[in-house]
């Protein structure tokens, strides 16, 4: 009799556990994705597929409020997981429709769902939140910036976590949809293709969608009074937005007017343009001067955004559509792959316009360059250092000289095609270069150019 009772009790325990107990294999996801430069950037235990934001911004108070719907797949059995969210407060959180516990901890939103999430399962998290966003702590050039009439959100290496819950690392690329309500008379400009607008009760809701996965730091939002020009280029929308405070015939306006022409020229080197929209946004802010952003891919560094913005800057930012946006970094130490190519695009465009040839620019830099700081692993404080941009570009030109133009062009188009929409590393690029060069061993070449602390061979 006692044996029968024990068997019934055990069976009941199994039934109850199936109904609600977490497996002992469930474990918390990591607070960071594993990048040594930024230990808490991104998050472990899941991979995001898409963000869908429904927001409202009141410029008179600086309050941003709304909901973020995040679709992700668990890469481990999760008992809880993190989202990056700074300066804003989560009100309610649900996972697959069920209320989830949540706590804020040092710029992280820690979510504990009602039940564990099995590895491989796709789940949907909805976070309703509000607050007064601002720049990110420790990275004052990134995040959310309030202006007299609106705001803008932009920055690198992290920025998205300043205005929505996110896994804020380029290794976790995702699609992006945004609906944001702002007072009538203001524009709200973001990434990708514009959707239909709706006006009601003194507010206008602007909609944007980027259907190609992108790194979270690329998400842009600019709210203010803009002159918006919408045209088409190669059967894709081209949106150019200039602040009403900026001269309509100023240098930034003239440079952006040539966006399609510049993109087409770069495509002759880099392969097919990788996105389905073109354009640019200018942010007029005394804190940084003119910030010139490519419409599908914003990148922020005050070093680059000048009041005399020219077509070279447009070429630089458009090149990021291929290098940084379509082919993204897997870890931040390889940032030369983004900025070296974007800088080299400036050199190519200068030659196309009849100015200096890349070899002339290379020679002038080589003779005076400080070689003590290599670009291959610049450290978190050196991501935007001159060596990453200029020595990165010199590395590419030296490679071009070494393997010849036919192999170099083959490399560029193969790289952007084979890694389109994905992430990649320097090791991947070295392997691709060796393949394009007919199997030639280029490890010593890249070691000298990316890691050496003395002048490397010219090519």
One pLDDT digit (tens) per residue for the chain, 459 residues: 444 434 434 443 333 343 344 455 899 999 999 999 999 999 999 999 999 999 999 999 999 999 999 999 999 999 999 999 998 999 999 999 999 999 999 899 999 999 999 999 999 999 999 999 999 988 878 999 999 899 999 889 999 999 999 999 999 999 999 999 999 999 999 999 999 999 999 999 999 999 999 999 999 999 999 999 999 999 999 999 988 987 777 788 888 899 999 999 999 999 999 999 999 888 877 665 545 555 443 332 222 234 446 899 999 999 999 999 999 999 999 999 999 999 999 999 999 999 999 999 999 999 999 999 999 999 999 999 999 999 999 999 999 999 999 999 999 999 999 999 999 999 999 999 999 999 999 999 999 999 999 999 987
Q: What is the pLDDT of residue 288?
A: 59
Nearest-CA neighbor of 415 among 323, 320, 331, 349? 323
Q: What is the pLDDT of residue 284?
A: 78
Query: How long is the chain?
Result: 459
- What is the bridge-based pairing of β-strands 198-200 and 203-214? antiparallel
Which secondary-structure segment (H or E) carries 363?
helix 358-366
Number of C-beta neighbours around residue 281 at 10 A: 28
Cis peptide before 233 (omega within 30 of 0): no
C-alpha 21: how far from chain center: 38
- What is the bridge-based pairing of β-strands 122-131 and 135-136? unpaired
Q: Contact 249/267 with Cβ under 8 angstroms?
A: no
| 3-state SS, one letter per residue, for 407-421 | HHHHHHHHHHHHCCC
Q: Contact 65/92 with Cβ under 8 angstroms?
A: no
Cis peptide before 157 (omega within 30 of 0): yes
Q: What is the pLDDT of residue 289?
A: 52
Q: What is the pLDDT of residue 5?
A: 37
Q: What is the pLDDT of residue 293?
A: 54
Q: What is the pLDDT of residue 13?
A: 38
Strand partners, 63: 58
At residue 39, the 3 state secondary structure works out as coil
Q: Contact 64/133 with Cβ under 8 angstroms?
A: yes
Number of C-beta neighbours around residue 348 at 10 A: 20
Tokens of 223: 């709210």
Query: Helices 405-418 and 392-403, interaxial angle, to 10°?
Result: 120
Q: What is the pLDDT of residue 24?
A: 56
Q: Contact 346/390 with Cβ under 8 angstroms?
A: no
Query: Helices 405-418 and 259-270, interaxial angle, to 10°?
Result: 110
Global pTM value: 0.90
């Amino acid at each position: 009799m006692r044996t029968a009772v024990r068997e019934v009790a055990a069976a009941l325990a199994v039934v109850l556990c199936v109904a609600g107990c977490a497996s002992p294999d469930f474990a918390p996801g990591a607070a960071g994705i594993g990048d040594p430069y930024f230990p808490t950037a991104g998050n472990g235990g899941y991979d995001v597929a898409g963000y869908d934001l429904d927001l409202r911004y009141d410029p008179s108070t600086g309050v941003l409020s709304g909901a973020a719907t995040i679709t992700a797949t668990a890469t481990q059995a999760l008992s809880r997981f993190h989202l990056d969210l700074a300066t804003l407060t989560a009100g309610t959180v649900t996972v697959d429709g069920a209320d989830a516990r949540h706590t804020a901890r040092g710029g992280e939103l820690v979510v504990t769902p009602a039940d564990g999430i099995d590895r491989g399962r796709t789940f949907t998290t909805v976070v309703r939140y509000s607050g007064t966003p601002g720049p990110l702590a420790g990275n004052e050039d990134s995040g959310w910036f309030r202006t007299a009439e609106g705001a803008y959100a932009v920055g690198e290496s992290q920025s998205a976590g300043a205005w929505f819950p996110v896994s804020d690392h380029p290794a976790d690329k995702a699609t992006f949809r945004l609906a944001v309500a702002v007072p009538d008379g203001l524009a709200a400009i973001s990434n990708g293709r514009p959707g239909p607008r709706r006006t009601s009760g003194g507010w206008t809701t602007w909609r944007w969608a980027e259907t190609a996965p992108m790194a979270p730091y690329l998400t842009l939002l600019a709210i203010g009074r803009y002159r918006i020009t919408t045209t088409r280029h190669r059967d894709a929308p081209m949106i150019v937005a200039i602040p009403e405070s900026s001269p309509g015939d100023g240098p930034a306006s003239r440079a952006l007017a040539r966006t399609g022409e510049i993109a087409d020229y770069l495509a002759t080197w880099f392969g097919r343009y990788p996105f389905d929209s073109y354009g640019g946004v200018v942010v007029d802010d005394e804190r940084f001067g003119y910030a010139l952003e490519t419409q599908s891919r914003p990148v922020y560094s005050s070093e680059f955004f000048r009041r005399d913005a020219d077509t070279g800057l447009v070429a630089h930012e458009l090149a990021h559509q291929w290098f940084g946006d379509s082919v993204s970094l897997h870890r931040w130490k390889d940032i030369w792959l983004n900025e070296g190519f974007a800088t080299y695009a400036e050199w190519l465009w200068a030659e196309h316009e009849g100015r200096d040839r890349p070899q002339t620019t290379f020679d002038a830099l080589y003779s005076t360059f400080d070689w003590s700081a290599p670009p291959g692993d610049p450290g978190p404080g050196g991501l935007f250092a001159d060596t990453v941009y200029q020595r990165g570009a010199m590395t590419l030109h030296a490679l071009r000289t070494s393997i010849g133009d036919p192999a170099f062009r083959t490399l560029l188009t193969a790289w952007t095609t084979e890694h389109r929409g994905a992430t990649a590393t320097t090791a991947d690029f070295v392997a691709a270069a060796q393949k394009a060069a007919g199997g030639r061993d280029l490890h010593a070449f890249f070691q000298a150019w990316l890691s050496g602390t003395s002048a490397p061979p010219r090519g």
